[in-house]
Amino acid sequence: MSREENIYKNLKSQIDKIARHNRQGSFKTKERYREAADRFCKFIAKEYGLQKFANIGDKHLERYVGYMQSRGLAPSTIKNELSAIRFFHDKVDKPRNQLSDNSKFNLDKRQFGGVNRAWSHDEYQAFRNLCHARGQARIADIATLARNEGLRIHETLKLDRSAAERAIKTGVLHVVGKGGRERGVPLSQESRAMLQERIKNVDRGQKLFVTEQEKTHLVIKQAQNFINRNREHFQDPSREQAREQGEAITRNITFHGLRHAYAQDRYHEAIERGLTGHKARLEVSELLGHERDDVTRIYTVK
């Protein structure tokens, strides 16, 4: 094992120790913060050979910000990474330095779309739970495909049993989008399990979510109305506070925000694989079913 690898392993153990005793935040938030801190540890192990996380300072953050900017990460994504680093730094014993806030690092303001419309993981889970509690399993299942596969609401309602069976077998969901444009989207495990259950009650040749007696536009309206009437039961109340503090976040989430959340996840994963911001957006663009980089920027803003 190289010296760099040993240093990273040592830093990671320090982070893991803090994480094991942390009780703040949701499971998803704790997981995201831990992953962000791990990325930072790899960076400082390579660039500085720093042995103790407690010894990090502004110079390390400034260099890391420059590195993230060079990889095309959005300002909001960089801010999220810094928040995670500060979270763990606040919990170390006897830190050597006090870390500055974001104003120190001249982060650019949001561009291209401006407002983050994505649902958080907790909002999505709360919504699905509410749907099942209110006897609206169909709406929960539609939301599952929007969140995990990035489908528009009308795209979910086009799906029939044969499309579901092919997706379960191949692991790829065939989607017919706007203008008849077709695309294949990797099927998540959550969606696979949902489709396996749903096809049990759907005859061959029938659509998954719309019966022969229903109008598609009315099913869409039903889902949208359910969100509008019950938003206070699943939407994070801190959204309003975030807006008051200047964060460009939508006041009320809509169904389409599930697709935004999907796009942001895929963009971040592509960046982590080493793609540039432009190439990552092109990859996400294909998954979303359109070919315009400027539109993809709107989806991936955070």
CA dist 29 and 42 (Å) reads 20
Ordered DSSP codes for 15-55: HHHHHHT---S-HHHHHHHHHHHHHHHHHHHHHT----GGG
113 Ramachandran zone, left/alpha/beta (phi>0; psi -120 to 50): left
pLDDT at position 244 is 74
pLDDT at position 301 is 60
Measured in degrees and rounded to the nearest 5, phi and psi for residue 273 equal -80, -5
β-sheet bridge partners, residue 185: 173
CA dist 32 and 40 (Å) reads 13
Dihedral angle sign, alpha carbons of residues 280, 286, 287, 288: positive
Q: What is the CA radius of gyration of the chain?
A: 21
CA dist 43 and 275 (Å) reads 17
Per-residue pLDDT of the chain (302 residues; tens, 9 = 90+): 789 999 999 999 999 999 888 877 677 778 888 999 999 999 999 999 999 999 999 999 999 988 887 676 777 788 889 999 999 999 988 899 999 988 888 775 444 446 888 999 999 999 999 999 999 999 999 999 999 999 999 999 999 999 999 999 999 999 998 878 899 999 999 999 999 999 999 999 999 999 999 999 999 999 999 999 999 999 999 888 777 777 788 888 999 999 999 999 999 899 889 988 888 888 999 999 876 655 566 666 65
Residues of the chain with CATH 1.10.443.10: 110-302
Helices (H), the chain: 3-20, 27-47, 58-70, 75-89, 121-133, 137-149, 153-158, 161-170, 189-198, 216-230, 238-244, 257-272, 277-288, 293-300
Q: Are 73 and 277 in contact (CB under 8 A)?
A: yes
pLDDT at position 162 is 97
- The CATH number corresponding to 110-302 among 1.10.3720.10, 1.10.443.10, 2.40.50.700, 3.30.9.10 equals 1.10.443.10
pLDDT at position 174 is 96
pLDDT at position 96 is 93
Residue 180 is given by DSSP the state G
pLDDT at position 30 is 81
Q: Which positions ≥6 away from 165 have C-beta within 8 Å?
A: 199
Q: What is the CATH number of domain 3-105?
A: 1.10.150
**Other CB atoms within 10 A of residue 291 CB:** 11
Angle between helices 27-47 and 58-70 (to 10 degrees): 100
- The distance from CA 13 to its chain's CA centroid, rounded to whole angstroms, is 26
pLDDT at position 79 is 87
- The distance from CA 178 to its chain's CA centroid, rounded to whole angstroms, is 23
Dihedral angle sign, alpha carbons of residues 158, 216, 225, 180: positive
